[in-house]
Structure 1
Amino acid sequence: MGLKIAFITDAWYPQINGVVTTIENTCKALNNGGDDVFLITPDRFYTIPCPSYPSIKLAIFCYPKVRRLLNEFAPDRIHIATEGPLGLAARKYCLKYKLAFSTSFHTLFAEYINLRFGMPVALGYRFLRWFHKPASHIMIATARVEANLVNRGFDKAQCVRWSRGVDVDRFRPRDKNFISYRRPISLYVGRVAIEKNLHAFLNLPVSGTKIVVGDGPQLHKLKKQFPDVVFTGFQTGEHLAKTMAAADVFVFPSRTDTFGIVMLDALACGVPVAAYPVQGPIDILINNKTGCMQEDLQQAFYGALALHSEDCRQQALGYSWQNCSAQFLNNLVPVT
């Protein structure tokens, strides 16, 4: 008989991002393996729009319902994925009833809050240390992210690995003619938000056509500012996979991601990646083989353009959601 796992996350649909993708695919794999995963997500609560990012819904006055849901489910394991209102409510519940729990670190929360509101990064990390300190384990995608957290005062003994996966059946090499724009086609997929450093991509002096797939608070402004760029809005499923496979280079301009699952999606489609040599790309790409990482993003683009599709696909085959979910399951701790 499988485990009863309570999974609490503030990041959920209608958001489309790497955190939601990781949670959805991990929970699906766990359920398929016989475990009973109970998701506590914002759609179960009254929510308000997040300041500066209205598509993110924040649960309010949520502790009484979180307590009731957890009492009724009576989980064997509790995992708190995010540091938002639901995460705080579940943390409070676990501490009140002296239940062990695990957490995960997905997002450079302190840096994002600094970019959006000017709050000092050090203050953000003070909050994050406080939030994660009672956890038995903190699940982290890469050794580089872990080293950064340890340097900022996190306990290394708490840190365990929870990698990421890719659906290589959906994201695979396909017909390049799905997109008929002038080539080479450079593609970005993700949030259209300040922390993604999109200007670095949109200002690149490269030939061909730039395509941005995604939505976010900067979309309206950037569409006006860059009329020659193709902005498609959100795409999902087969349409997204076909779009990604039709690109010539995937450009990942972010300097603040902890991983970057979309890079795995691109590699699985046989599309090389151009990126900065920073956390995220360094942890995924094989430089000058499956991606090109340089501080000069223009040079990285043209370097990536010369790489081989087969090498990209081969690397992506090494990642799976089954392995990801097995790591996650192994990191969980009994509540008592």
Structure 2
Amino acid sequence: MRILVATDAWHPQVNGVVRSIEALRREAADLGAEILPETPEGWPTVGLPTYPDIRLALVTASRLGPRIESLRPDHVHVATEGPMGLAARRHCLRVGRPFTTSYHTHFPDYLAARAPVPRAWSYAWLRRFHNAGCGTMVATATVAEDLGGRGFAHLMRWSRGVDHALFRPRDHAVLDLPRPIFLCVGRVAVEKNVEAFLKLALPGTKVVVGDGPARADLEVRYPAARFLGVRTGEALAEIYSSADVFVFPSRTDTFGNVMLEALASGLPVAAYPVPGPRDVLAGGDAGVMRDDLGDACRAALAVPRERARAFSLGYTWSASARQFIANVARAQADAAPRTAA
């Protein structure tokens, strides 16, 4: 099976969408499927307002359509709601090709944090975007319940995984800082709520890994924190294993792959009891969720590192890929009668 994945999120971006598609592409080969990413690479691009490092493709359905058909995919999956996703969706609707989508980000919350746009308007647009397909994949049961209550149809679960060989406990530390070390990894932007972490009165050292439009301001206002910029691969994995607690301050993420990376590294998680953390940490005691994030951080110090690692083993990219391919097969079967009609 050849599955074309249209995505606006791609290198050099560092985020959960990119990591998920990369892992899917790698694991699907062992399951008899080929993932064909259709990305902004090779297209003219423009910087996203407030995020100039994120490049959006200047692409239309009339230009993208012939490329899609030349690749002869058995299925099209629209991973994001940006220009690439819009063009792929429009082409599929134009030619009657069934497609699925995935819902990665609570854009209504992100947009509301920047502009006075009613969430109801944003959700209405997103509902129209996703309901045109034959299935929308979401990471957790909480997100599915929320979107179902907002009128989203044909919702499917697509969980995530983690590379346990890369993200693992290590005998050495690369952070020579006063302990305990509280670590936050992700985009440094208003919607990630990083400042809520930086405001906490905690012992030891706060470390932030990542970049984004809020970084320069936060570095000036919180000089005691250590901002290390973007780290990937082995360098990132070593930082995880060198910290004592992973702090996830976001209230808007639909999942949070970084929590799995931290847990696999033997790092307990401190978070708010909101969707994302509630789903990832459900059924285990590898983290602490409290409305008082500072209390959660201090309590997480008592969680054994081996418990965090053991909990992470329940999430694998292989299982994630099998779930994705099964969703595609089900969506195609459901769409076949409608297509024939």
TM-score between both structures, scaled by the size of structure 2: 0.95
CA–CA distance in 1 between the matches of 2:321 and 2:63? 27
Would you say 1:215 and 2:207 are equivalent positions?
Answer: no
1:123 corresponds in structure 2 to 121
> Which aligned pairs between 1:183-262 and structure 2 lie closer than 5 A?
183-262=179-258
Provide the rounded CA distance (Å) in 2 between the counterparts of 1:100 and 1:291. Answer: 40
Match of 2:150 in 1: 152
CA distance in 2, matches of 1:5, 1:222: 41
**CA root-mean-square deviation:** 1.3
> What secondary structure sits across from 1:116 in the alignment?
coil
Question: Could you tell me how far apart the structure 2 residues matched to 1:92 and 1:286 are?
Answer: 38
- State the 1:120 CA deviation: 1.2
Q: Partner of 2:324 in structure 1?
A: 328
CA distance in 1, matches of 2:32, 2:321: 12
Partner of 1:90: 88
For 2:66, give the aligned amino acid: R
Q: Give the whole-Å Cα distance in 2 for the aligned partners of 1:61 and 1:304.
A: 46
**C-alpha distance in 1 between matches for 2:245 and 2:62:** 48
Q: CA deviation at 1:72?
A: 0.5
SS at match of 1:44: coil
Partner of 1:316: 312
Change (3 A) 1:101 1:174: same
Number of the residue aligned with 2:64: 66
**Farther-moved stretch of structure 1 (94-103 vs 52-61):** 52-61
**Aligned pair partner of 2:134 in 126, 133, 136:** 136
1:259-317 deviation per Cα after TM superposition (whole angstroms, max 9, x unaligned): 00100000001100110000011101158821110011110001101111111111101
Match of 1:296 in 2: 292
Q: What are the superposed Cα offsets for residues 101-127 of structure 1, whole Å, 9 maximum, x if unpaired?
A: 100110001111111222111110010
Distance 1:272 1:12 in 2: 29
Per-residue deviation at 1:135?
1.0
State the aligned residue count.
332
| CA distance, structure 1, for counterparts of residue 235 and residue 171 of structure 2 | 12
Distance 2:172 2:243 in 1: 7
Would the aligned equivalents of 2:31 and 2:322 in 1 still touch at CA under 8 Å?
Answer: no
CA distance in 2, matches of 1:238, 1:32: 25
Distance of 2:327 and 2:320 partners within structure 1? 11
Mapped contact 1:5–1:37 kept (Cα < 8 A): yes
CA distance in 1, matches of 2:80, 2:73: 18
CA–CA distance in structure 2, aligned partners of residues 151 and 176 of structure 1: 48
* AA of the residue aligned to 2:253: D
What are the superposed Cα offsets for residues 64-92 of structure 1, whole Å, 9 maximum, x if unpaired? 33112112012111100111111110111
Unaligned runs of 5+ in 2: none
Change (3 A) 1:287 1:71: closer
Amino acid at match of 2:201: P
- What's the CA shift string for 1:165-218, capped at 9, x where partnerless? 000111011135321100000000000010000111000000001100001111
Task: Give ranges in structure 1 of 5+ residues lacking alignment.
Answer: none
Alignment of structure 1 residues 11-22 onto 2, 5 Å: 11-22=9-20
Q: Which runs of 4+ in 1 moved over 6 A?
A: none
For 1:276, give the aligned amino acid.
Y
Contact 1:5 1:35 in 2 (8 A): yes
SS in 2 for 1:233: coil
CA 1:194–1:287: 2 relative to 1, 3 Å: farther
What letter corresponds to residue 183 of structure 1 in structure 2? R
Aligned partner letter, 1:213: V
